Amino acid sequence: MLRIRPFRRLWLTLGLSSFGDWLGLLATSLFAAGHVSGSFAQGAAFGGVVVMKLLPALVLLPLAGLLADKFDRRITMVVCDVARFVLFLSIPLAGLLASPAAVVTWALIATFLVEAISMIWIPAKEAAVPNLVPGRLEAANQLSLITTYGIAPVLAALVLAAVERGLRSLANEQTTRLLVQPVDFALYLNALTFLAAAAVVYFIPQISGRGAAPAASKPGWVGSLIDGWQFLHHNAALRGLVLGICGAFAAGGVVVGTSSFYATSLGAGPAAFGLLFASLFIGLGLGMGLGPRLVGKLSRRRWFGLSIVFAAAMVALLGLAPHLSIALPLVVAVGFGSGMAFLSGTTLLGTEVRDWVRGRVFAFVQGAVRVVLLLTIAVSSLLVGLGGEHVLNLGILHPTISSSRILLLLAGILGVIAGVVAFRHMDDRPGVPLLPDLISSMRGRPLGVPDAPIRTGLFVAFEGGEGAGKSTQAVKLAAWMRMAGQQCVVTREPGATPAGARMRGILLDPRGDKLSSRAEALLYAADRAEHVSTVIRPALKEGAVVVTDRYVDSSLAYQGAGRELPVEEIRWLSGWATGELRPDLTVLLDIDPQVGLARVRQRGATDRLEDEEVTFHERVRDGFRTLADADPDRYLVIDANSGEEDIATQVRMRIARIMPGAPDPINALPWDADTTTTLDPDLDSMLAVTETQDLRSLSDRTDDATQWLDGSAPR
């Protein structure tokens, strides 16, 4: 990411500003506390600075993003940084000129103004990043967030401590009074960071611009503000995103607000509070740094909702943790989930929000997060203080009920609900099971998104080894369905489409070049994708019964078990190719490979697969049996050594169970069963579509097959 020159400069600016923000917060808080006397007054001054830092979110929430969208982003950021330089510089200067009360007052006012300006600077920066790193926003956000919440606060604390130690040491050596107090020096240094940031931003012309608004947008300040709110209101996914982010920070706010009382409920000393607080930030950094690599190719919308649910669930478990040794890893897990949610949420905001309104949306989210965080910390601190701890007398048991644990449990439950609601609003892979998708994505192979469900038609696949009689039974079933008045399409794999016919020649011609196992698997998947798209789905949508000779399970058995490729990889590949379309019924005609191959050789010429060794076909048979055992509701396993009419009757009886209005499966049909003992080569060519792909041509070919079977057409 740092090879992109404009982003590298912006990242440097972000680092300076983040360092300045944290150093300014620490130094200003200590500066204000140092100018009053008494523990209460010092605590009030210190806390007042923190409140003033959060208060602008309540006041300037609607306007900050509008300013970021209205003006050139580069100029906006430069002006904001220069203004923050002036304000931070004024704080220590005021200490030299005014009374202590006036100094504290000005420190609070300056903090409020600095934060108000930051609320304009942050949306302008966030809105500019996606334009600098197209296609790599997640990595850019990852680096930025780690800098802001990982490196900058630690560096600020270290610098403040080093300045104080260095200046004190210098004063002791010279035995003179310090002309500049350590906190004052830190504030001067902090002011210079913003001046340097302004200079860097000024020379990044790529972040200029504010995005072109659509023609229908409302002119003027009020109209632009309305546009931003309407964009939020009409975007369900964005509403879910905002809800999820606020829910995650609310749960985190409860953890912060109750941490000191919670540490006491664990029977730990004052140091436990620091451990819990540090663990939260460690988890936050780990979530931002390792989260994308952990989930791999999982949809970022799904990852966002899942992260919130995970973090909230860990908060709920904190309420049940009996000891500090269990609570600490749970707090790390809370931070980990929150870090992943914050990273994925920020990335989604940058990619899914239009450029012309991005500043307003970022300002709204940033402000909403601050408000929620402030309120939850304040309310939870108040409630946990009022509730205290109570010991219940239950005879031999005396459990301690802590209000901090109850609040954590409730916050976790509410956070899980918010995460689930956000997930439902934002899920972009409906129909794909979440847990298998997560596991597959962690392996780098996310599950395919299923196509729109088909509510009509019936899909039947015949599977089995060589010589099992699949083609015969497929045609028998189709003829029975059509003679009963049901529209039916007979097809096969490979070769049911013009492209498939060419791939069939490549795959099965024994005289052709030998293919690698992976190339063979890919060709079968390509044939299947075309087959489903142009033959099977159109027929099913028209309400037809589709009967196919081979489908996905043949690839799982032949390329998976037979060629010994990973079956799950073949399953994923076929699922992606077919849009997860599965047969309503799979008929497995089970046959001993030696018997089946003997039947094939009686026909004459053999293809590439039929020429494989018997051990290959034995693995294929075992593969089919394993698939049938794993999914008995979808499979009908029949001994292929049974008579053709007996097999056909079993198939028809199973069809009658799953298809309302199916014809009577017992009544014999008016043909001689002996006529289907072997298949005429003309029938094989008749079932392959060679010219047109429409349903009418498929139906005509099935009509021809029916006439051939009942004797009304010549063999």
| CA–CA gap between residue 311 and residue 334 (Å, rounded) | 5
* Residue numbering of the annotated binding site: 464-471
| CA–CA gap between residue 435 and residue 449 (Å, rounded) | 14
Residue 301 tokens, joined: 């919308």
From the list 413, 140, 129, 138, the residue with the least C-alpha distance to 303 is 138
From the list 358, 348, 548, 333, the residue with the least C-alpha distance to 457 is 548
Contact 492, 671 (CB under 8 A): no
* Residue numbering of the annotated binding site for ATP: 464-471
Contact 419, 240 (CB under 8 A): no
From the list 616, 550, 552, 532, the residue with the least C-alpha distance to 589 is 550
| CA–CA gap between residue 323 and residue 267 (Å, rounded) | 8
Residue 3 is given by DSSP the state: T
Residue 247 tokens, joined: 């829910």
Residue 533 tokens, joined: 């798209």
**Radius of gyration (Cα) for the chain, nearest Å?**
35
| CA–CA gap between residue 262 and residue 389 (Å, rounded) | 10
Neighbours of 48 (CB within 10 A): 19
Contact 245, 345 (CB under 8 A): yes
From the list 592, 643, 650, the residue with the least C-alpha distance to 622 is 592
| CA–CA gap between residue 414 and residue 372 (Å, rounded) | 14
| CA–CA gap between residue 317 and residue 315 (Å, rounded) | 5
Residue 654 tokens, joined: 């199973």
| CA–CA gap between residue 274 and residue 128 (Å, rounded) | 36
| CA–CA gap between residue 241 and residue 21 (Å, rounded) | 26
